[in-house]
């Protein structure tokens, strides 16, 4: 009976997208709950109304608040799994035969109560293993939230740059048509000069177009880098607490680096100056 009840609870705490423990769970209008990150990725390219990944019921919302009660219950379940793992005989303190329920922040190792009071560890920062795991999880979730915001910001800049590239190409075509029209009207005998004029305009226009393409390419590359780190953080958030207590400084550093360095769309003033440069007067 107890085993069946435990299995039922396990299913309720499972995200039906990633099939792992719910991480930062959100409950959508139909009542189903998912990891926030799983919904972000599932609904990223969808317009409102979005569909529930499980029952396909439409929802008018894409942003939801964390289900605090469910998050707490999942945390209790994950803590229980961690303590069950550490209380097994193979993970007990060899010296004192006690459960290792304390985490040493400096050495990032598990200690029993007596070992934490030893001369070797007395001066180190300690906390209960459950609290250390919860702290690591919260830090991980904040990194993911911040990184997701940067991913969306970069996507907006990328879309804006694509629109400007299209606009710039249209401007070059219109500028060429205008030059030809003016030559036909005012200088019908200067066909050679007309072609030279158009060639100069195209060289200058393509110079700026090349800058736009390079800017777009940088944003595409940054998008891939941001998403790669986000998926790494997401995968880590789905790991058992015993894995979360490992040293995650490297992935946090890379996440911070990704958030702080991102290409920006070129300033509007750039296009105004460039466009004025194409408007050469006739001699």
Tell me, yes or no, whether 138 and 244 share the same domain.
yes
Its pTM stands at: 0.80
Tell me, yes or no, whether 118 and 135 share the same domain.
no
Residue 110: count of CB within 10 angstroms of its CB: 21
**What range defines the domain where residue 60 resides?**
2-66
Buried b (16+ CB within 10 A) or exposed e, 200-222: ebeebbeebbeebeebbebbeeb
**What pLDDT was estimated at residue 283?**
42
pLDDT at 281 exceeding the cut of 50: no
* CA distances, 88 to each of 82, 84, 98, 110 (Å): 10, 6, 10, 13
CB 265 within 8 A of CB 162: no
- The answer as to whether 44 is a domain residue is yes
Tell me, yes or no, whether 109 and 142 share the same domain.
no
**What pLDDT was estimated at residue 273?**
55
pLDDT at 68 exceeding the cut of 90: yes
**What pLDDT was estimated at residue 276?**
59
Alpha carbons within 13 angstroms on the beta-carbon side of residue 39 total 25
pLDDT at 36 exceeding the cut of 90: yes
CB-based contacts of 174, cutoff 8 Å, min separation 6: none
Tell me, yes or no, whether 31 and 109 share the same domain.
no
Question: What percent of the chain has a predicted confidence (pLDDT) above 70?
Answer: 88
- Residue 206 CA to residue 59 CA, distance in Å, equals 45
Q: 47: exposed, middle or buried (C-beta count within 10 Å: 0-12, 13-18, 19+)? A: exposed
CATH code: domain of residue 51 = 3.30.40.10
- The answer as to whether 77 is a domain residue is no
- Residue 94 CA to residue 281 CA, distance in Å, equals 88
Tell me, yes or no, whether 138 and 273 share the same domain.
yes
Tell me, yes or no, whether 185 and 170 share the same domain.
yes
Residue 52: count of CB within 10 angstroms of its CB: 18
- The answer as to whether 75 is a domain residue is no
Q: 65: exposed, middle or buried (C-beta count within 10 Å: 0-12, 13-18, 19+)? A: exposed
């Amino acid at each position: 009976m107890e085993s069946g009840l435990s299995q039922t609870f396990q299913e309720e705490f499972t995200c039906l997208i990633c099939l792992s423990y719910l991480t930062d769970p959100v409950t959508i209008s139909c009542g189903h709950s998912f990891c926030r990150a799983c919904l972000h990725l599932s609904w990223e390219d969808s317009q409102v109304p979005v569909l529930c990944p499980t029952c396909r019921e439409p929802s008018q919302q894409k942003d939801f608040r964390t289900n605090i009660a469910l998050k707490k219950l999942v945390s209790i379940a994950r803590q229980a799994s961690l303590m069950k793992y550490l209380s097994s005989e193979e993970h007990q303190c060899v010296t004192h035969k006690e459960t290792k329920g304390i985490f040493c922040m400096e050495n990032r190792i598990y200690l029993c109560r007596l070992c934490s009071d030893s001369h070797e560890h007395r001066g180190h920062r300690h906390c209960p293993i459950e609290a250390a795991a919860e702290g690591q999880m919260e830090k991980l979730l904040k990194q993911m939230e911040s990184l997701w915001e940067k991913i969306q910001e970069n996507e907006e800049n990328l879309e804006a740059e694509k629109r400007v590239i299209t606009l710039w190409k249209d401007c070059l075509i219109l500028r060429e048509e205008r030059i030809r029209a003016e030559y036909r009207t005012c200088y019908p005998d200067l066909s050679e000069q007309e072609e030279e004029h158009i060639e100069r305009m195209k060289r200058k226009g393509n110079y700026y177009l090349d800058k736009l393409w390079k800017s777009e390419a940088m944003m595409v590359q940054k998008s891939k880098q941001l998403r790669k780190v986000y998926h790494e953080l997401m995968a880590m958030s789905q790991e058992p607490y015993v894995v979360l207590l490992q040293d995650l400084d490297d992935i946090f550093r890379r996440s911070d680096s990704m958030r702080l360095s991102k290409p920006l769309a070129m300033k509007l003033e750039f296009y105004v100056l460039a466009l004025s440069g194409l408007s050469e007067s006739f001699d």
